[in-house]
Amino acid sequence: MVTKKLKVIPDERGRLMEILRSDDELFRGFGQVYITTAYPGVVKAWHYHQRQFDNFAVIQGMAKVVLYDPREDSPTHGEINEFFAGIHNPLLIQIPPRVYHGFKCISAEEAVILNIPTKAYDYLNPDEYRLDPYNNTIGYDWERKDG
């Protein structure tokens, strides 16, 4: 899993932010661009892909983006990674194939996640494998941790 810090350029008109460039070191090809959003409190999880890399950027609101690595051959096998990404932490998160991922909207406004996967979605044969967000073997608790 690789990340890239994004740079916002704000001015009196609005903001500008580059997200992914074809000359970025982490660029691995272009499949498509889509957005997926979540209302406050909503969890969209768990997914993984066999072939594609995902490139997530939260461009509106804030989301908790969580990764779980079930790959037996990986140095981060069994590990959970939490990112608090969005307008207060502009970040590109690259998710490799076979790594479970999902997100929860933690802001009072809709969180908008932009994804640039390396393959276009195949309607007839989707490269997408799902687990229930709550009932699964990952054992991750999506609840907010107050303290």
Q: Which residues bind its own copies (CB under 8 A)?
A: 12-23, 30-39, 42, 44, 59-60, 105, 110-112, 114, 116, 120-121
Residue 134: CB minimum distance to its own copies, A:
14
Which is nearer to its own copies, 5 or 72 (by Cβ)?
5
Dig out the tokens for 46 from the structure.
């768990």
Dig out the tokens for 64 from the structure.
């908790």
Within 10 angstroms of residue 118's Cβ, the number of other Cβ atoms is 18
Which is nearer to its own copies, 33 or 80 (by Cβ)?
33
Which is nearer to its own copies, 1 or 43 (by Cβ)?
43
Residue 67: CB minimum distance to its own copies, A:
20
Residue 72: CB minimum distance to its own copies, A:
32
Q: Is the CB of residue 9 less than 8 Å from the CB of residue 101? A: no
Residue 145: CB minimum distance to its own copies, A:
22
Which is nearer to its own copies, 65 or 105 (by Cβ)?
105
Token look-up 């037996």 returns: 72
Within 10 angstroms of residue 137's Cβ, the number of other Cβ atoms is 7
Which is nearer to its own copies, 23 or 146 (by Cβ)?
23
Cis peptide before 142 (omega within 30 of 0): no
Q: CA of 127: how far to CAs of 9, 33, 44, 49, 66, in Å?
A: 35, 16, 17, 5, 19
Residue 17: CB minimum distance to its own copies, A:
5
